[in-house]
Amino acid sequence: MPTKKELLDLQFIEARHKLIDLAAFLDRIDRHPGADDFRYAALQAAIPILLSERPDRARGVLDALSDHSHEPIPKAAFQGALGAAQPG
Amino acid sequence: MYIEPHAHMVSRTTDDYEKLAIAGCEVLCEPAFWAGFDRSSPAGFFDYFRQLTDYEPKRAAKYGIKHYCWLCINPKEADDPVFAREVMALIPQFLDCPTVLGIGEIGLNKNTRNELAIFEEHVQLAVDRDLPILIHTPHLEDKLKGTRLILESLAGFSKLDRAKVIVDHVEEHTIAQVLDAGYWAGMTLYPHSKCSPNRAIDMLEVYGSERLWMNSACDWGVSDPLAVPRCILEMKKRQHTAAAIEQIVYHNPRKFLSQSPRFV
């Protein structure tokens, strides 16, 4: 198993790139006209999980973006998925 | 040498078979799924099942790849139960084809009541014929709920052999519940909507490799038929041994798939 230093050597630049890309996406949404929607709010709510000290941050982000209801729905409004659960 | 246990080759060009062969793919399995659009009649599925059982094995064989398939009506097209049952009525005549492994990929898409009913009818068909089952879990925000519904439903089948069921497309928030319930789990290396190679390797490191496989699920969308070899490269970079790599990309899929007598 590689050490922390070896992992940083291997993947730091890629992680840095992804972090800057996320920051730029937030800037872009702020800069553009119109209203955002529940997806932006879901993303903002999930971001603090990155700074937590829990050992399963990836799971935490996935949980935060998931539909937590329990019952099957009567009918689907559309076939695809949006990436974050719609409130209510 | 590796096994690609989940790829939708009807949506891919022959170039991809060549690339897979060059990369060391020895065996490829193709579950029945959505072709990127809704088919308008059961006859469309009849032709699709012919393509899976007859045409694709021949196309793959030209590149030295053994092609197997799984049959079902997929959950995306299963929300109309009348239509779904008409398609299901076509399946038995194909189940004796020499390359059909079992029922799949069944499951849920938007977690509707009708999807769940058709899922359970497929599971009963597999139980009645003692066939392995390959299960699709929903995308993105629907995956957690869908996985729970699927596991709750499967728990109601007293004659189901859990070792013959693989729940595919697991991610960090669903893998533990699948493995804890005694099923196999599949990790799909798919851009944006499923799992990256490094996340799959993380899950291997955390949960062990006993009942896991990895696949590309390459299809009509933005996807990579070489995702498994790319993950092999990442495993090497992360100092996984050749034996550990061979276990996850060859021996594990072989062990699960060998539960079908057709898999040789």
Q: For residue B70, what are its two tokens?
A: 């799984």
Looking at residue B227, what is its pLDDT?
98
The count of C-alpha atoms lying within 13 angstroms of the C-alpha of B86, restricted to the half-sphere facing its C-beta, is 13
Residue-wise burial string across A58-68, b where 16 or more C-beta atoms lie within 10 A, e elsewhere: bbbbbebbbbe
Q: What angle do CA B174, B33, B46 make, to 5 degrees?
A: 150
pTM (2 d.p.): 0.97
The full DSSP string for B178-193 is HHHTT-EEEEEB-TTT
pLDDT in tens, B104-135: 999 999 999 999 999 999 999 999 999 999 99
Residue B255: pLDDT band (50, 70, 90) is: very high
Distance from CA of A2 to the nearest CA of B (A): 6
Provide the pLDDT for residue B168: 98
Q: Residue B152: its pLDDT value, please? A: 98
Structure tokens at B253: 């899929």
Q: How confident is the model at residue A88 (pLDDT cuts 50, 70, 90)?
A: confident
pLDDT digits (tens, 9 = 90+) for A2-44: 999 999 999 999 999 999 999 999 999 999 999 999 999 999 9
pLDDT score recorded for residue B22 = 98
Q: Round to whole Å and give the CA distance between A56 and B65.
A: 38
pLDDT 10s digits, B219-238: 999 999 999 999 999 999 99
The distance between the two most distant Cα atoms of chain A, rounded to a whole number of Å, is: 51
- Three-class secondary structure of residue B131 per DSSP: coil
Query: Is the pLDDT reported for residue B178 higher than 80?
Result: yes
Inter-residue contact B128 to B97 (CB < 8 Å): no
CA distance B208 to chain A (A): 14
Q: Are B145 and A70 in contact (CB under 8 A)?
A: yes
Q: Does B139 touch chain A (CB under 8 A)?
A: yes
Report the complex ipTM. 0.96
Looking at this protein, which amino acid is placed at residue B242? A
For residues B160 and B154, is the Cβ–Cβ distance under 8 A? yes
Select from A54, A61, A67 the residue whose CB has the most chain B CBs within 10 Å, as the one to mutate to test that interface: A67
Domains with residue ranges and CATH for chain B: 2-257 (3.20.20.140)
